[in-house]
Amino acid sequence: MSQVLLETKGLKKYFKVGKKNLHAVDDVNIKINLGSTLGIVGESGCGKTTLGRVILRLHEPTGGDVIFEGQSVTKMSKKELKKFHTSAQIIFQDPFSSLNPRMSVEEIIAEPMIVNKIHKTRKEIMKRTAELMDIVGISERLATAYPHELDGGRRQRIGIARALSVDPKFIVCDEPVSALDVSIQAQVLNLLMDLQRDLDLTYMFITHDLSVVKHISNEIAVMYLGQCVERAPSRELFANPRHPYTKALLSAIPIPDLSMRSRKIEIIKGELASPIDPKPGCRFAARCPYVGDACHEPQELSELSPNHFVACIKPL
């Protein structure tokens, strides 16, 4: 049986908008097994990035809990949280804005080791920095280079090396390839998969690109306006989507095959519901072609088949 490394229980994050609340993350329950990858997908603004940051407590949660290795992250003291952040790291979406422009490549990678006192001497830190550069595929000659002198692929490799510098068990990958060219995307994805295999890492991979998430994930969770509407193993989700929103997302994936020109594309119509103090019920109801009266009641994830959960009163 797989060991659960991280779990969220009713996790919520609301942002104040005047006197009202924007429900960025609302009652999300996920589990991530040790050594696996959970993909988080959905449209821009659905709460994917906020979820990752709340899990790491870069944003303080409004409610719910995060359990990491059996310990509550939300109840950790500052000292415990600092230790947690050596076990749980993040790779940011923009490889340029996430790097300090005044620091060289080796200084950026070494900084977390210095701050967390990972090694005793500077010689050990520089040795480990050189090892990390080699692991992620950055040439030794670039050790004294600055971020503005490098391309996007190399910058993202620096971000990966920085995350690895404290020997984490869990990494939130926040759209790590979305800002890169397609050929570089493939290289970085393969690097992440190799690192997972070699270092026994656990990922939460956030993306809006469904072809990317299929390639790297063991399990996928689909988010819509702050809520998880479907969760299933990767192959099962692509073969048998049960939520109307998931089906529409999958049908929008471009297929480079002329024989598929006549395939039906599920077009999502209607207006997005407001995430500010939303009404009870399914948040996709206003755009769903199968909507009924029961859809305006609160929806919960239900297990329709082994490990396949759907929050829909009338699943497909």
Question: What predicted TM-score, i.e. pTM, was given to this entire model?
Answer: 0.92
Domains identified in the chain, total number: 1
The phi and psi torsions of 246 (rounded to 5 degrees) equal -60, -45
Domain assignment present for residue 50? The answer is yes
Domain assignment present for residue 315? The answer is no
Domain assignment present for residue 316? The answer is no
What's 168's domain CATH number?
3.40.50.300
Query: pLDDT (tens digit, 0 to 9) for every residue of the chain, 316 residues total?
Result: 679 999 999 999 999 999 999 999 999 999 999 999 999 999 888 999 999 999 999 999 999 999 999 999 999 999 999 999 999 999 998 888 889 999 999 999 999 999 999 988 999 999 999 999 999 999 999 999 999 999 989 999 999 999 999 999 999 999 998 878 888 888 999 999 999 999 999 999 999 888 888 889 999 999 999 999 999 999 999 999 999 999 988 887 766 666 656 666 667 787 888 899 998 889 998 888 888 888 888 888 999 999 999 999 878 7
Domain assignment present for residue 184? The answer is yes
Domain assignment present for residue 43? The answer is yes
Beta strands in the chain (DSSP E): 4-17, 20-28, 31-33, 37-41, 63-68, 71-72, 88-91, 170-174, 202-206, 219-224, 227-233, 302-305, 308-310
Domain assignment present for residue 76? The answer is yes
* Cα-based distances in Å from 4 to 7, 31, 49, 76: 7, 7, 22, 19
Domain assignment present for residue 62? The answer is yes
Domain assignment present for residue 38? The answer is yes
| DSSP 8-state symbol, 77 | -
Range of the domain at 242: 4-310
